Amino acid sequence: MSNTKYILGSFADPDDMMHGIDKLQANNISIYDCFTPMPIHGIEAKLGVKPSRLPIAAFCFGALGTTLGFSLLYYTMVYDWPMNIGGKPSFAMPNFVPVTFEVTILLCALGMVATFFFRNHLFPGRAPRVMDLRATDDRFILAVDAKENADHALIDSLLKEAGAVEVKYNDRKYVSYE
Amino acid sequence: MSSHNESILREPLMTGKDITYAKITDDILLPVENKPNKAWWIGFTVAVLGALLWVVSVSYTFWTGIGAWGLNKTVGWAWDITDFVWWVGIGHAGTLISAVLLIFRQNWRNSINRSAEAMTIFAVICAATYVVAHMGRPWLAYWIFPLPNQFGSLWVNFNSPLVWDAFAISTYFTVSLVFWYCGLLPDIATIRDRATGLKQKIYSVLSFGWNGSVKTWQRFEIVSLILAGISTPLVLSVHTIVSMDFATSVIPGWHTTIFPPYFVAGAIFSGFAMVQTLLLILRKVMNFENYITMFHIESMNIIIMTTGSIVGVAYLTELFIAMYSRSEYEMYAFENRMLGPYAWAYWSMMTCNVISPQLFWFKKIRTSIPISWILSIVVNIGMWFERFVIIVTSLHRDYLPSSWAMFYPTWTDVGIFVGSIGLFFTLFLLFLRFLPGIAIAEVKLLLKSSSLQHKTKLAQEGAFPAEQVEYFQESLEKYDSVTEEEIKELSVRK
């Protein structure tokens, strides 16, 4: 048995890669992942990737921001140390809007991006898990798990038929670090 | 799909022949992967000298206090707030380009958003320095935030627009920075995977381990869209709140309800002018003519013209409302602006902001690069005068004629302003040296839909009716990056 862990179809054109996905799927070959230098619209549906739930996270963080922002204002201005400012009421709702709004936006943005980084394991200094160094440049990489799909010759021919410029047999999963 | 056949009636967003994904990467990373050229070094030296002037002037201000400025007891706000509003306004175009144009699916933003966002961040840094400096005792600047303190705890006054401003500007800076950096991740990864040695290590840390998998891109797009969605009201709120610093006061000339929309329009106006100033040089020096095309230049000129007209209407409305109010003080404030000792500033503002952008109604003018560049600078000067007029002319003649005074800037005022421009350009040039000036991944999306190359191929295959191709050929004539041969080639059938 060969040591090949992953078979990579390297495409020069995104449409060819999409074609390759169709061909492999028609032959019941499961696709591990695709690595592309730009977002490919419609690829999630093809690969059966579920829609992201990040909007829900964003909404929750936004709602948290509204609550915290408003609570801060209410606590400081009305509860903790009400001040007599020109005899106006301490609980001046309209004046609470701008700061509440800014805190909402701030928490929504930071919370959502933090969730995104957390879920994708993105953080400064993380060793990049890259299967092909050209995937961030000009190649569209279609990766197939070689252990799960045994018929390597068929995969090779299907990828080439779809227009793959190169088919690689990688013994290591990631090429980006030693 | 990654490509769709866009109508040929739409002008191309990318020109040039034999453009491939690899060529896009090479072209855009050329300044990052090679030693900088002479033009960069000359610009950088001048900018650093300016930044040094800024350091000296700001240090002198911190050392002696704001008595170093030309303020007096009548004019208590002058160049500091003028420059602050000017920089914040300039910053707004970046967010507008990256957020509002994304929501409206204006693909032409893809080529200019990265540098415009960088501009936003650097402009807000410049603006923030004035806020800190004008407080007089900058080491107590944190008092603007509601922190528990030894006064038991005496909180800040949340009814004050100045407190709102602190929240708005800091939120704006944070969200812009996050938006910009998230967008940069894929491009930093591109640099990382092409680099070797120490450079690779540094960009590897900066890239957060980006790998471009399906799920990463999917979440990336959602994050971009939502950040755009929340940045849009944010950017409007920021300049609204800046305008409320004035509008909630009872000074004639400031106490007007049209300030928020008027300031927001002015911010977009000056911001796009600054983007135009920078990009016209950038595309020439960095050889980005194929990516930042005449279509981009013309579109930005149209936005400058539109917002300039909105600002013009706001000026006239102010005058009319002052007259219509029959309030003695209100009428005097505006009469003094037009005819008083600062009339020269008022009329410079009127000429630069209202009359000069109207020249963009002529197609010849808005597609001419030198004229666009000069007008963009004229608009920036005009917008600086607008803030100066609003601030100083409203203050210098107050209710007691005995305390009327004029404002004369000191060398420190001038030094901080000129120096902040130096600081801005230092940061911008460093950005261009170390990070891609164009969003590589986003521009790649245009290759198979909106590029001239793709449209030519489809036209030659006979995908479009002949009269549409002819219309397209005519629209290409204004492009400086398209040769006549390329235009002729469109009607060759293959």
Tokens representing residue B381 in the block: 């000067």
Confirm whether B275 is domain-assigned: yes
Q: B residues 31-90 near A, CB within 8 Å?
A: none
Confirm whether B224 is domain-assigned: yes
Q: Which domain holds residue B306?
A: 21-406+413-489
Confirm whether B13 is domain-assigned: no
Rounded alpha-carbon distances, angstroms, from residue A103 to A70, A90, A97: 9, 20, 10
Q: B residues 117-156 near A, CB within 8 Å?
A: 146, 152-156
- Closest partner residue to B175 (CB to CB) among A58, A101, A109 is A109
Strand partners, A8: A143, A168
Contact between A120 and B215 using a beta-carbon 8 Å cutoff: yes
Q: What is the pLDDT of residue A127?
A: 83
Contact between B3 and A15 using a beta-carbon 8 Å cutoff: yes
Q: What is the pLDDT of residue B102?
A: 86
The number of domains in chain B is 1
- Closest partner residue to A120 (CB to CB) among B216, B442, B448 is B216
- Closest partner residue to A55 (CB to CB) among B157, B220, B222 is B222
Residue spans of alpha helices (H) in B195-293: 197-206, 214-247, 259-285
Tell me, yes or no, if A40 comes closer than 8 A to chain B by beta carbon. Answer: yes
Domains of chain A and any CATH numbers: 6-51+129-170 (3.30.70), 54-119 (no CATH)
Beta carbons of B225 and B101 less than 8 angstroms apart = no
Confirm whether B3 is domain-assigned: no
Looking at chain B, which residue has its C-alpha nearest residue A31? B214
Confirm whether B305 is domain-assigned: yes
Phi-psi region of A28 (alpha: psi -120 to 50; beta: other; left: phi over 0): left
Confirm whether B494 is domain-assigned: no
Confirm whether B74 is domain-assigned: yes
- Closest partner residue to B164 (CB to CB) among A98, A119, A128 is A98
Interface test mutation site (partner B, options A136, A145, A166, max chain B beta carbons within 10 A): A136
Distance from CA of B359 to the nearest CA of A (A): 38
B442 contacts on A by Cβ (under 8 Å): 38
- 3-class SS of residue B147: coil
Contact between A128 and B189 using a beta-carbon 8 Å cutoff: yes
Q: What is the pLDDT along chain B (494 residues), one digit of tens a residue?
A: 445 667 888 888 888 888 888 888 988 898 888 888 888 899 999 999 999 999 999 999 999 988 899 898 899 888 999 999 999 999 988 888 888 888 888 888 888 889 899 999 999 999 988 888 888 888 888 888 888 888 777 888 888 899 999 999 999 999 999 999 999 999 999 998 888 888 888 998 998 989 888 989 999 999 999 999 999 999 999 999 999 999 998 888 898 889 999 999 999 999 999 999 999 988 888 888 889 989 999 999 999 999 999 999 999 999 999 999 999 999 999 999 999 999 999 999 999 999 999 999 999 999 999 999 999 999 999 999 999 999 999 999 988 889 999 999 999 999 999 999 999 999 999 999 999 989 998 888 888 888 888 888 888 888 888 888 888 888 888 888 888 888 888 877 77
- Closest partner residue to B234 (CB to CB) among A44, A105, A119 is A105
Q: B residues 82-111 near A, CB within 8 Å?
A: none
Looking at chain A, which residue has its C-alpha nearest residue B169? A102
- Closest partner residue to A137 (CB to CB) among B22, B227, B445 is B22
The CATH number given to whatever domain includes residue B184 is 1.20.1630.10
pLDDT, one tens digit per residue, over B20-44 is: 888 889 888 988 888 888 888 999 9
pLDDT band at A83 (very low <50, low <70, confident <90, very high): confident
What is the model's pTM?
0.92
| Residue B475: Cβ within 10 Å count | 17
Q: Concatenated DSSP letters for B246-273? A: HHTS--TTT--TTHHHHHHHHHHHHHHH
Beta carbons of A137 and B21 less than 8 angstroms apart = yes
pLDDT band at A59 (very low <50, low <70, confident <90, very high): very high
Average pLDDT over residues A41-50: 86
Confirm whether B40 is domain-assigned: yes
Tell me, yes or no, if B182 comes closer than 8 A to chain A by beta carbon. Answer: yes
B194 contacts on A by Cβ (under 8 Å): 133, 137
Q: What is the pLDDT of residue B1?
A: 40
Tell me, yes or no, if B209 comes closer than 8 A to chain A by beta carbon. Answer: yes
Looking at chain B, which residue has its C-alpha nearest residue A51? B218
Tell me, yes or no, if B442 comes closer than 8 A to chain A by beta carbon. Answer: yes
Distance from CA of A146 to the nearest CA of B (A): 18
Could you give the strand order of the β-sheet that contains A33-35, starting from the edge strand earlier in sequence?
A33-35, A140-145, A6-11, A166-170
| Core vs surface per residue A1-24: b (16+ CB within 10 A) or e | eeeebbbbbbbbbbbbbbbbbebb
